[in-house]
C-alpha cells in the first residue's frame, strides 16, 4: 500500500538578500495515519502556531494544529454527510485571526 503524508516544512523567517540561501527546519509529519494529502493549506493562529487544512481524498476535510514542534491529532472539519469537492486543482481554504479559524470548502454535487 502506498501511504501519503502531509508534511510541513518551516523556513527560517529572516529576510533574504541576493546570494543567501533559505534554511529549512526538519520536516514535521502532520497526518501519517489517514494518508490524505489533497491541497494542504496552512495559516498561523493567534498563538503563532500553524493550523494545517487538507482534503483526505475521500471528499472530507481535516485539520491539525501545531503545538511546539508537533501536531495534535487531525480532526474532521467538514460536516458529516457533506461530500467536499476536492481534487489536485481545487479544495479547501483556510484563514485565521486570533483564536478563530475559518475553513472554506465547496460541497458536492457542484450545481
Q: Which residues are registered as beta bridge partners of 52?
A: 42, 64
pLDDT at 15 (0 to 100): 56
Q: Could you read off the pLDDT of 49-107 as tens digits, one per residue? A: 999 999 887 888 999 999 888 889 889 999 988 888 888 888 899 999 988 999 998 88
Whether residue 46 contacts residue 52, with contact meaning beta carbons closer than 8 Å, is answered with no
Spatial separation of the C-alpha atoms in residues 9 and 65, rounded to whole Å: 14
Predicted TM-score of the model (pTM): 0.76
SS3 39: strand
Q: On the CB side of 100, how many CA atoms lie within 13 Å of its CA?
A: 2
* CA-closest candidate to residue 77, choices 105, 96, 98: 105
Q: Could you read off the pLDDT of 10-24 as tens digits, one per residue? A: 554 455 667 677 777
Indicate whether 32 pLDDT > 50: yes
107 — phi, psi (to 5°)? -90, 160
Amino acid at each position: 500500500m502506498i501511504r501519503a503524508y502531509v508534511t510541513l516544512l518551516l523556513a527560517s523567517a529572516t529576510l533574504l538578500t541576493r546570494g543567501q540561501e533559505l534554511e529549512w527546519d526538519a520536516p514535521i509529519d502532520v497526518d501519517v495515519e489517514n494518508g490524505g494529502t489533497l491541497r494542504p493549506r496552512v495559516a498561523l493562529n493567534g498563538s503563532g502556531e500553524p493550523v494545517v487544512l487538507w482534503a483526505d481524498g475521500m471528499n472530507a476535510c481535516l485539520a491539525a494544529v501545531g503545538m511546539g514542534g508537533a501536531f495534535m491529532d487531525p480532526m474532521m472539519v467538514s460536516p458529516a454527510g457533506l461530500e467536499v469537492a476536492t481534487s489536485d486543482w481545487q479544495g479547501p481554504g483556510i484563514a485565521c485571526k486570533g483564536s478563530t479559524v475559518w475553513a472554506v470548502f465547496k460541497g458536492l454535487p457542484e450545481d
